[in-house]
Amino acid sequence: MARLSLAACAVAFHLCLLVSSSASLRWLSDKPAAVTTAGGVRTRSAYHFQPAKNWQNDPNGPMYHNGVYHLFYQYNPLGATWGTGNLSWGHSVSRDLVNWVTLDTALDPTAPFDSNGCWSGSATILPGGIPALLYTGRIGTGKGMQVQNVAFPKNPADPLLREWVKPAYNPVIPLPADVPGDNFRDPTTAWVGRDGMWRIAVAAKVGGPNGIASTLIYRSKDFRHWKRNTLPLYTSRAAGMVECPDLFPVAEPGVEEGLLGYVSGTVSGTVRHVLKLSVMNTTQDYYMVGRYDDAADTFVPELDNERILDDFRTWRRFDYGHVYASKSFFDMRKNRRVLWAWASESDNMDDDIAKGWSGVQTVPRKVWLDGDGKQLRQWPIEEIETLRSKRVVGLLGAQVNAGGVNKIVGVGAQADVEAIFEISSLEEAETFEPNWLLDPQKLCEEKGASVPGGVGPFGLLVMASGDMQEHTAVFFRVFRQNDKYKVLMCTDLSKSSTRDGVYKPPYGAFVDMDIEAHGGIISLRTLVDHSVVESFGGGGRTCITARVYPDHVVNGNSHLYVFNNGTGAVKVSSLDAWEMATATVNVLPDGLIAASSVSRAQAY
């Protein structure tokens, strides 16, 4: 551990960094030259899921079947852009959710009922163990028309379920008369109610172009003939159009096991459910915990005093960063619910075309209901830890004083970092203003890592260049609100890259925990993977995923620091960091991934 000399750091935080690093005055003055190439393999993730090449978006139909995990995904086999009409279902299999093998695409837009794209959907394992895929077929040109289709394995005995057939009786659900053609999609995994009928939810805008964002329920006896319920499961005038709904049961508060969502009898009564909606006009995923009743197919959110039913901005989010279109599945192997979500690129399309790929998935996360019964907790599945290689233990028990920046030597751009911070005193917490409640992201912008505070900002600087010109700050800041405290978590990208044309917002959210009752202790886990910074604050109560494109990785090493820019001291009770091994993710014989691994090894 190298402690940097920061005696002069009573001034702005960026100046502290200037003093503490070998940077010259260029830190504040020079504008770096624009980089026109995308950095190619240097930004490619080493252990996040991505196809070998081309475009990927939503995770589709994740499932565990006969000892094999399957992940399907929206995939453009023809290039690194979305390619509306080309969308296929990419298909990869794994035994551990970490290392993946690519198979041929499972669904391609080849039938009259999906001729312009096989869009998102889900997998359901039918009685007898046969999986079924429900997906949206896009027909026609222009905005097209959306219908729901089903597909089954060609050979259910094939352990990898390589080929899928689409029955000629598709579509199983045509476009309803009261829904515009381009606003009807993304069927969920099916579940069975007490009446023995299958149910699915489908997203739709009901009532014309200015209609209401709705989550429709369809019921079926045979998985082929589906009838729409008169009343939707949920509607929102505020949302515009929602996509990729997900409805799943959760166990008792604080119990980490998951519940199977499609066996009769488990989906009603006292069990709580989570309804997740992907809101199209913000491209953000929101969820509510509530009660689902399978007699009437209604979902009643349990609102606390900070959440408003029809204002999705007050709903909680799986991730307050750059992810969308998440999907969960029940993992029968380990009795847990696992969530995937798409983290798109946030550089620009020319970069994607130049590097030949676009889009990663978050690491698979275990999801359960927190002990408070109100919010979800998320944590990287334990299998991710098999990639932990060299371990670095730093700063154990060290106090990080105002303006302190401590380097953790030995980990860089491919790391897993777990830190526990202990706030010495909450006395110095700044006063919280109620109008900050609705916009934590703005608060993170106003009170970024370089703005000194009382209790915080403190946390990690990851993907930092040797001269500190580039770094991504993941941090907490604690405010006093009446006689309670409010914890803000931010991922500040403003200094993440010196490149132009890269989206570098501040991301932020509150961590819903009573920091005082927790003895002033708060944890932060951050997974760093070249262009991905995926963080879990307060034991997974608040998650923020960011995409970063630092320029320094082309010629230099990345570093990790702990910092505190608040006047109150913060103790690092523990800090463990691991260099992460490169997972085998969709390696193709053409050597594309192998080549990138070699250059990574050379660079770091």
Question: By C-alpha distance, which of 241, 343, 325, 237 is closest to 284?
Answer: 325
Distance (Å, whole) CA 394 – CA 496 = 23
Binding site for ligand DQQ (CB under 6 A): 57-58, 74, 87, 119-120, 136, 185-186, 243-244, 324-325
Phi-psi map region of 313: left, alpha, beta (phi>0 left; psi -120 to 50 alpha): alpha
Smallest distance from the beta carbon of 241 to ligand DQQ, in angstroms? 8
Residue nearer to ligand DQQ on the CB measure, 187 or 380: 187
Smallest distance from the beta carbon of 164 to ligand DQQ, in angstroms? 17
Quote the DSSP letter at residue 372. Answer: T
Residue nearer to ligand DQQ on the CB measure, 87 or 502: 87
Smallest distance from the beta carbon of 90 to ligand DQQ, in angstroms? 12
Contact by Cβ (8 Å): 558, 463: yes
Catalytically annotated residues: 58
Q: Give the contacts of 330 (CB within 8 A, at least 6 positions apart).
A: 248, 258, 259, 260, 261, 336, 337, 338
Beta-bridge mates of residue 579 = 415
Smallest distance from the beta carbon of 54 to ligand DQQ, in angstroms? 13
Question: By C-alpha distance, which of 174, 184, 188, 173 is closest to 206?
Answer: 184
Residue nearer to ligand DQQ on the CB measure, 183 or 542: 183
Smallest distance from the beta carbon of 72 to ligand DQQ, in angstroms? 12
Contact by Cβ (8 Å): 460, 434: no
Q: Give the contacts of 378 (CB within 8 A, at least 6 positions apart).
A: 318, 339, 365, 366, 367, 536, 540, 543
Distance (Å, whole) CA 567 – CA 563 = 12
Smallest distance from the beta carbon of 521 to ligand DQQ, in angstroms? 37
Chain centre distance of CA 595: 27
Residue with tokens 């949206």, as numbered in its chain:
136
Q: Give the contacts of 39 (CB within 8 A, at least 6 positions apart).
A: 355, 549, 551, 553, 554
Contact by Cβ (8 Å): 576, 561: no
Residue nearer to ligand DQQ on the CB measure, 57 or 362: 57
Residue nearer to ligand DQQ on the CB measure, 233 or 387: 233
Residue nearer to ligand DQQ on the CB measure, 81 or 584: 81
Smallest distance from the beta carbon of 60 to ligand DQQ, in angstroms? 8
Contact by Cβ (8 Å): 536, 367: no
Distance (Å, whole) CA 168 – CA 172 = 10
Residue nearer to ligand DQQ on the CB measure, 185 or 447: 185
Question: By C-alpha distance, which of 217, 136, 205 is closest to 170?
Answer: 136
Q: Give the contacts of 232 (CB within 8 A, at least 6 positions apart).
A: 206, 214, 215, 216, 217
Residue 259 in tokens: 């519940």
Contact by Cβ (8 Å): 322, 19: no
Residue nearer to ligand DQQ on the CB measure, 203 or 408: 203
Smallest distance from the beta carbon of 122 to ligand DQQ, in angstroms? 11
